[in-house]
Chains A and B, each alone.
Chain A
Amino acid sequence: MFRRYFLPRFIQYLVVLIVGMNMIFFIPRLMPSDPIESRLSQMTAQGQYLDPAAMEGLRESLAELYGLEGSMFEQYAAYWKRLFSGDLGPSFSQFPTPVVELLKSSLPWTVGLLTVNLLLSWIIGTILGAVTAFYPDSKLTKVIEILAMGIRPIPYYIMALALVILFAFVFPIFPMAGGYSMGTKIGFNSRFILDLLRHAFLPLMSLVILGIGGWFLQMRNVASNIVEEGYVEYAEASGLSKTKIILHYIIPNAIMPQLTGLAINIGFIFGGALITEIVFSYPGIGSLLYNAIIAEDYNLIMGINIFSIVAVSTAMFIVDMIYPLLDPRIRYQ
């Protein structure tokens, strides 16, 4: 069990981390334009005047900040050293706050949004998919299916924007932006929590609606194959109730591909959460990323990338580890 299941997955986890870290190291260095030069030209374009000596000094200090000093090999060694020590350098726009600090303060918002979204959309989508697969000819199934097919391909940004326009502007029910109202006292009291929920509602909605569409269609696909399997037909033939068939026969058997889907799609959903946060100025990693783009904070963008890869691949690894608990065929091999 350990050797056959855990070990290969752990190796894959390490490989993803290594490949990802290397991508982050090499991509900026292989690009035709140099982050330092682009930063400098940005500054001159903004009308700042710098004499050549100051320019050179700035260039050097930028190189040091960005980890672009010395030969490629030295940079590479330094890069891994910094990774292992958990040092992602200082943020440029909020100098000298370390990138790690900024990530730490944004993280809870994103994690909260993402977890609630995943739980809600995955569970609802999965159940809906299983039930509709069992009643393929019902009117309701067809309506749900068309709705899901219409929703699924909509980009995160468009969905979020549409919800903002509709529920924050045309019908101003929910706040337009932010994680909580300015001036609310942060604390464990009902007023603050209510405010928190009101702010989280629209971003969450936009993620959940898209999420349900996706999970529903995937589950529908898997489950409609399972409905044709011998054991479901046989359970039907033996008079088991439909609820029992859905709960004990269809869902437990379809859950494996659905979990694989979860593991594979975590990166995609994470990206979606960042985009949604940007639209709603929700104070998570997404907004941090947005500010980094606006301020051209190269170190922060790098840091967010490194963090995303570690976080997402770890999440995937954890989901993978849940697997054998659910499938006796893996457990008893």
Chain B
Amino acid sequence: MPVLDVRDLKAYYITDRYGRISRVRAVDEVSFQVHKNEIYGIAGESGCGKSSLLKVVSGLSKPPLRILDGEVIYKFDDNELNMLSLKDDKQRRQLRGTHISSIPQASMNVLNPVKRIEKSFQDFVSVHFEINNKAQFNEMVREHLSALGLDWDIMHAYPHQLSGGMRQRVIIALATILKPDIIFADEPTTALDVVVQRGVVQLIKKINEEQHNTIIMVTHDMAIHANLCDRLAIMYAGKIVEEADAHTIFHDAKHPYTTMLLKSLPKIGDESERESAPGAPPSLVDVPPGCRFHPRCPKATELCCKEEPQLIEIEKGHRVACFHEGGSR
């Protein structure tokens, strides 16, 4: 029973600049399911649409990003609801914090620069509970912080007084204080130093273990995925091209893009030659016909240039969109 079921989702950025209309096909017919208590990774390079996908799924898309088609179905405590049909802003707000929450990319300005951290915690909690009893609220925060190994003193600091890594950990604490069912993390480790990165990965893992929730993790960094994720989807040019459990992806990948991506990663202690694929990902304004990877694919045939391969299950839990791996039209 999946907690999140995304079906044929299609979302484009549509803009009109002085009569020049453009369509950026950021998310194109994407389907996937996420199960309870798993860490589901979405990998892909810059501009592949992974962040847009996350925005649409978590109900945060704003114009010019428009949802053209598809369904995003959540199942919480046997209640089923379609995120995209929630018209009411209030309904959507009620979901946040308790059911779904987000960890954004580590940056200077995710926390309100003119308020102390404590105020942010109050704001976020009071969306769902009236804070009548300050002591009780403090106790709740203190417990949460200590579970995550954070110091209570940070509550009285302003964001600019904290280091980058500390800020990111505070944000993670903030995002998880109400023990949400699903957490969306968008590049939470990018722009952090390796040691701090490791601390953040550790923290996310700990939350998953303690709160038994589901985490959807978006990052371009395959090594972070390897460390954290149970299952993994690879996106390329607005589409999922391969999906499997982490072990299969890293040791038995089928899609030529996935293998190429993995082959290009250097490792300490491994001196063998590494190669990049030729060319570069296409612009989403103007995607190639057929399989979107065909201009860079060593295996490309005439079929690949004309027809688009569907994402199909080639063995249990392993889906690939490639004609050479049993893909169909």
Binding site for B on A (CB under 8 A): 137, 229-231, 233-242, 244, 248-249, 252-253, 326-329, 332
Contact = CB atoms under 8 A, between A and B. Distances in A.
Contacts of B68: none
Interface of B: 58, 60, 63, 89, 92-97, 101-102, 104, 107-116, 119, 123-124, 127-128, 158, 160-161, 171, 174-175
Nearest to B180: A238
Contact of B104 (A234, A241, A249, A332): A234
A252 B110 contact: no
A238 B96 contact: yes
A215 B60 CA distance: 31
A231 B112 contact: yes
B93 A239 contact: yes
Contacts of A244: 123
A229 B109 contact: yes
A239 B160 CA distance: 24
Contacts of B60: 233, 236-237
A332 B93 contact: no
B127 A252 contact: no
12 contacts: A230-B104, A231-B113, A235-B123, A236-B60, A237-B58, A238-B124, A238-B127, A238-B175, A242-B89, A253-B113, A328-B158, A329-B160
Contacts of A248: 112, 115, 119, 123
A240 B110 CA distance: 14
Nearest to B158: A328
Given A137-B63, A239-B93, A253-B113, A234 B123 contact: no
A241 to B, nearest CB: 7
B26 to A, nearest CB: 17
A326 B127 CA distance: 25
Contacts of A229: 109
Contact of A238 (B89, B101, B107): B101
Contacts of A230: 104, 107-110
A237 B96 contact: yes
A240 B127 contact: yes
A329 B110 contact: no
B151 to A, nearest CB: 18
A327 B115 CA distance: 9
Contacts of A236: 60
Contacts of A242: 89
A66 B93 CA distance: 70
- Output the residue of A137, A231, A248, A332 with the most chain B CB within 10 A: A231
Contact of A240 (B111, B116, B123): B123
Given A137-B63, A244-B123, A238 B113 contact: no
Contacts of A328: 113-114, 116, 158, 160
Chain A interface, DSSP helix/strand/loop, else mixed: helix
Contact of A241 (B93, B107, B175): B93
Q: Which 9 A-B pairs have the closest CB atoms?
A: A239-B96, A239-B93, A230-B109, A230-B110, A252-B114, A239-B127, A231-B112, A328-B158, A237-B102
Contacts of B127: 238-241
Interface centre among B97, B114, B171 (most CB of A within 10 A): B114
Given A234-B102, A234-B104, A332-B158, A239 B112 contact: no
A87 B115 CA distance: 48
A108 to B, nearest CB: 36
A243 B108 CA distance: 24
A249 B112 contact: yes
A17 to B, nearest CB: 32
Contacts of A252: 112, 114-115
Contact of A329 (B102, B104, B158, B171): B158
Contacts of A239: 92-97, 127-128
A248 B102 CA distance: 20
Contacts of A249: 112
Contact of B114 (A234, A241, A327): A327
Nearest to B157: A332
Contacts of B58: 237
A304 to B, nearest CB: 40
A249 B115 CA distance: 9
A231 B97 contact: no
Given A332-B158, A332-B161, A238 B102 contact: yes
A290 to B, nearest CB: 44
A235 B175 CA distance: 11
Nearest to A250: B112
B110 A234 contact: yes
A231 to B, nearest CB: 5
B112 A235 contact: yes
B123 A231 contact: no
Given A234-B111, A238-B97, A248-B115, 19 more contacts: A229-B109, A231-B110, A234-B104, A234-B171, A235-B112, A237-B60, A237-B104, A238-B175, A239-B95, A239-B127, A239-B128, A240-B123, A240-B124, A240-B127, A241-B93, A252-B112, A327-B114, A328-B113, A328-B160
B237 to A, nearest CB: 25
Contacts of B128: 239
B168 to A, nearest CB: 12
Chain A CB count within 10 A is highest, among B58, B93, B161, for B93
Q: Which of A235, A239, A242, A244 gathers the greatest number of chain B CB atoms within 10 Å?
A: A239
A16 to B, nearest CB: 28
A231 B109 contact: yes
A20 to B, nearest CB: 34
Nearest to A242: B89
